[in-house]
Structure 1
Amino acid sequence: MSLTHLPSLHRPINQGVGVRHKAQSMLHWGLSQGLPMAVVKFAGRDGDPQARLMEAGGDDDVWEVIEQVRAQGPLVKGRVTFISADHAVVDEVLTSKAFRTGNPLDRLGFLATASARLRPATMHPLVEPSLLVTEPPDHTRYRKLVTRVFTMRAVEKLRDRAETVAAELLDELDGRTDLVEQYCSLLPVTLISQILGIPTSERREVLAMGSDIAASLDFGLSWPEYRDVDAGLRRFDAWLETHIETLRGKPGDDLLSQLVQVQDEHGALDMAELKATAGLVLAAGFETTVNLLGNGIKLLHDHPDELAELRQDPALWSNAVEEILRIDPPVLLTARFAPEPTTLEGQHISAGTQVVVLLAGANRDPKVFHDPSRFDVTRANAREHLSFSAGRHHCLGAALARMEGEVGLKAFFDRYPDVTLLPGAKRRPTRILRGWRTLPAQV
């Protein structure tokens, strides 16, 4: 079904919404975004590391903050959270059963209850039943069902399609262009559209909705940002429900159609579970790949000696993708909570305490990676990065992202080996996801 057949996607989300709903939205924003951000900023008066990270956002200042955290030790206690840039500590937090995913407000009693009651009913990547925040046994069930669909074999079937799409997009580039808009975003969204059974003609609408979902991963949204994200999530939720019902009645050969039909001993996934899964695939499955492609193009453009290594030995492309993921990861950080009191790196972690793990910091740990700030496509242990997380929440789309990164970057530099990046490149303003919003170039 075309997006143009869904009027709700094209009219302002607040049209006809009463004062009560607006007040509810503002209250939810205050509890879920405004108040926590105010607490973090207050802590920042004393140089709290998490506050400094929030201020750095997606800028390159983040590397200075990460190294300041590392200099204070493997596990740093802030006013609000613990934080780590140490590879071993980050890996332990991600893999240990002593730490779980979840929303920080869920452990704040009255605030948790009030926020949950005010929360919009639309799907959200940080609200159950999203795989990002569920734990066993539900997480085990969802992941088992989804893994049947997103296998290595299924990803490899997409390789030829990825090469074809990359070639078609590169044919359309001419002269001055924005590589993020015209290439880095369109390649993964076209493939995700195929996975979700969405016509390629609708990929730009899907891209816009995916950006809204990606922004919803951030903490400390301003009120205008919150309103935009909420509107985007509502549009996507309405569209996705209709799309799933269409696939349920007339399944195609796409992977989402398979997921709609698949069942286990507990039965099929319900609508909320299907929407949560598809939404996560959209946000994590292509938004992060957009960042991988953009970061990779920028790194290889700025390091011509490394690009020369790849031209001399194309077999290195797979390792080059791992090194790009290591040195400039699409996801900067994540967090876990201790549901029960525990000990980490000799420090007591009380129940409900958050531990922020800097994936980007772990990827530059000098105890693991020699000369960690150096970009080296021949690095022997580049794959030891933690950019895809670890443990039971290891990124389900890792194989797809690796394949798209390898195909997309190799095709680009094979076609445009002498590309020139122009002034005006801008980083995305998001704090969790890291990538380029614009990347002007002359091809």
Structure 2
Amino acid sequence: MSLAEPLMRRVVEPSIVRYFAWRGDPVARWMRPQSKGDPYPLYEDIRRRGLVRSSLGPWVTASHATAETVLRDRRFSSSPVHQRGYQPPSFPLGDPRAELPAGDLLTLDPPDHTRIRRLVSGAFTPRAIAGLEPWIRERAVRLLDQADARGPEFNLIDAFAFPLPIAVICHLLGVPAEDQDKFRAWGHDVVTTLEPQTSRAARHHSQASEIALAGYLRDLVAKRRSDPDDSLLSALIAVEEEGDSLTSAELVSTALLLLVAGFETTVNLIGNGTVALLGERAQWDRLCKEPELISGAIEELLRYDSPVQMTSRTATEDLEVDGTVIRKGIPVIVSIGGANRDPAIFAEPGRLMVDRPEAARHLSFSLGIHHCLGAALARLEGRIAIEELTSRFPGLAMAGTPVRRPLLVLRGFETVPVRAAA
């Protein structure tokens, strides 16, 4: 999900973006404000052109087949250290940024990635995730009760799509109720670290929140070592395999990843999915009448408007993809949103169909060794959210124009005004 600093910081300046966009550069065109609102025509153009080299350095693809190749091939790495020109961050003595985790499951390569994922999977089991359903459903019902009590109109993001996933993450990590408001605020700030196009002030603010959050998690890990509870964090601390266990630094980086990559994906799944369904009223009405379709519909919602729009991989050696040589150290940007609408895989890709048979072939949770560890949890939360919304408010309708967040990697809404009706 992350895009390395040297790759993208070069195109932050609007004048540079405009110049290269004028020349037809795919990365620069991608970064224009108008493309963030509706990037799908651009994805289609990139796909028609095949594997495209940007003047700014990386290759770009929106082809499902090429995306699969890049994401599965272990000669491509998600770690920025392999990128040509990469220089590790250097901080003055005593700088708190030096205490931030150096890597996580998103960016580590084998064998470190293999070891940590094996240990984390020991606690993050399908059975453990399925066991969360009653708790998540109770929380979803409570949030909708509160929204309903405030009146017929509410912002779906603030009232439901955001608080539900953050409550689940706090529950998983055992964050005390009195700390959840600041935990939520930190989480909202830190997700901007995934975005390549942010201002210096925004990056500093995000880093300050990340430092505070990491410090909080270090203290929480220490507390749970001496006083374990039934949270996932305590389970991760207790996991041991062949004498190996997660270090405190690895526990903190895993918890940070769970928050940053976990809850934001689900917020966007609920928000994007609801807006898409209300925009295709027949599809919403069908789910209201046939709730057994909702589980499969979640795959279609993930495909149709993916919560995460891009990822990148860097060639660790010279290699060939689609007849094109990718030189060592050069990144390939994979357009997940574009691959998810590739007509070679998905019939009528721009059409929302809740019973689409091939929907599960989407790449919204990536592929290969970096396939999202929290995919089952996101699917569970998304299913419960849509089940509760459709059963409680079958007459739900838009009460205004939804406002997109002006982001590139993450795709979601700031506000979704809705009017509740039974």
TM-score (norm 1): 0.87
Counterpart residue number, 1:92:
69
Corresponding letter in the other structure for 1:185: F
Counterpart residue number, 1:76:
52
In structure 1, distance between residues paired with 2:403 and 2:52: 31
Aligned pair partner of 1:107 in 78, 83, 89: 83
Summarize deviations over 1:300-322 as a string: whole Å, max 9, x none.
Answer: 11111112222232210011100
Summarize deviations over 1:206-259 as a string: whole Å, max 9, x none.
Answer: 221112221101113211111111111111112111111111111100111110
In structure 1, distance between residues paired with 2:403 and 2:129: 31
The reply on whether 1:136 has 2:110 as its aligned counterpart is yes
In structure 1, distance between residues paired with 2:122 and 2:320: 36
In structure 1, distance between residues paired with 2:314 and 2:354: 35
Summarize deviations over 1:349-381 as a string: whole Å, max 9, x none.
Answer: 100010000011110000000000000001011
Aligned pair partner of 1:154 in 96, 104, 128: 128
The reply on whether 1:273 has 2:247 as its aligned counterpart is no
In structure 2, distance between residues paired with 1:360 and 1:63: 7
Query: Is the contact made by 2:288 and 2:394 (CA closer than 8 Å) also made in structure 1?
Result: no
Aligned pair partner of 1:347 in 324, 345, 365: 324
In structure 1, distance between residues paired with 2:223 and 2:262: 22
Corresponding letter in the other structure for 1:223: R
Compute the displacement of 1:270 (Å): 1.6
Counterpart residue number, 1:402:
379
Aligned pair partner of 1:314 in 283, 291, 294: 291
Corresponding letter in the other structure for 1:274: L
Counterpart residue number, 1:228:
205
Corresponding letter in the other structure for 1:76: V
In structure 1, distance between residues paired with 2:11 and 2:240: 40
Compute the displacement of 1:201 (Å): 4.5
Greater shift after overlay, 58-67 or 180-189? 58-67
Change in Cα spacing, 1:50 to 1:422, as seen in structure 2 (3 Å) is same
Counterpart residue number, 2:402:
425
Give 1:36-435 correspondences, 5 Å limit: 37=12, 41=17, 43-56=20-33, 59-73=36-50, 75-79=51-55, 80-103=57-80, 107-109=83-85, 112-113=87-88, 115-117=89-91, 120-123=97-100, 127-128=102-103, 130-174=104-148, 175=151, 176-265=153-242, 267-435=244-412
Change in Cα spacing, 1:92 to 1:361, as seen in structure 2 (3 Å) is same
In structure 2, distance between residues paired with 1:339 and 1:106: 6
In structure 1, distance between residues paired with 2:160 and 2:337: 25
Q: RMSD value over aligned CA atoms?
A: 2.1
In structure 2, distance between residues paired with 1:248 and 1:223: 37
Summarize deviations over 1:252-297 as a string: whole Å, max 9, x none.
Answer: 0011111022223363222221111000001111111000001111
Change in Cα spacing, 1:424 to 1:312, as seen in structure 2 (3 Å) is closer
Change in Cα spacing, 1:57 to 1:122, as seen in structure 2 (3 Å) is farther
Query: Is the contact made by 1:34 and 1:222 (CA closer than 8 Å) also made in structure 2?
Result: no
Q: In structure 2, the residue corresponding to 1:112 is in which secondary structure?
A: coil
Compute the displacement of 1:33 (Å): 6.6
In structure 1, distance between residues paired with 2:5 and 2:279: 42
Summarize deviations over 1:381-417 as a string: whole Å, max 9, x none.
Answer: 1101000000100000000000110001110121111
In structure 1, distance between residues paired with 2:31 and 2:79: 19
Corresponding letter in the other structure for 1:389: S
In structure 2, distance between residues paired with 1:319 and 1:361: 21
Identity of aligned residues (%): 36
Query: Is the contact made by 2:288 and 2:390 (CA closer than 8 Å) also made in structure 1?
Result: no
- Runs of 4+ aligned residues of structure 1 deviating over 6 Å after TM superposition are 29-33
Compute the displacement of 1:345 (Å): 0.5
Query: Is the contact made by 2:77 and 2:314 (CA closer than 8 Å) also made in structure 1?
Result: yes
Compute the displacement of 1:40 (Å): 6.7
Q: Which runs of 5+ in 1 are unaligned?
A: 1-28
In structure 2, distance between residues paired with 1:57 and 1:131: 33
Q: Which runs of 5+ in 2 are unaligned?
A: none
Change in Cα spacing, 1:178 to 1:136, as seen in structure 2 (3 Å) is same
Summarize deviations over 1:105-136 as a string: whole Å, max 9, x none.
Answer: 65344x514x3457922436xx41x1100010
Corresponding letter in the other structure for 1:131: L
Counterpart residue number, 1:9:
none
In structure 1, distance between residues paired with 2:417 and 2:380: 25
Query: Is the contact made by 2:36 and 2:407 (CA closer than 8 Å) also made in structure 1?
Result: no
TM-score (norm 2): 0.91
Q: In structure 2, the residue corresponding to 1:180 is in which secondary structure?
A: helix
Corresponding letter in the other structure for 1:363: N
In structure 2, distance between residues paired with 1:331 and 1:57: 18
In structure 1, distance between residues paired with 2:110 and 2:9: 31
Greater shift after overlay, 250-259 or 219-228? 219-228
In structure 2, distance between residues paired with 1:58 and 1:154: 40
Corresponding letter in the other structure for 2:12: M
Compute the displacement of 1:32 (Å): 8.4
Query: Is the contact made by 2:44 and 2:338 (CA closer than 8 Å) also made in structure 1?
Result: yes
In structure 1, distance between residues paired with 2:74 and 2:11: 26
In structure 1, distance between residues paired with 2:140 and 2:343: 36
Change in Cα spacing, 1:198 to 1:58, as seen in structure 2 (3 Å) is farther
Change in Cα spacing, 1:190 to 1:58, as seen in structure 2 (3 Å) is farther
Change in Cα spacing, 1:299 to 1:326, as seen in structure 2 (3 Å) is same
Change in Cα spacing, 1:328 to 1:296, as seen in structure 2 (3 Å) is same
Q: How many residues align?
A: 408
Query: Is the contact made by 1:319 and 1:378 (CA closer than 8 Å) also made in structure 2?
Result: yes
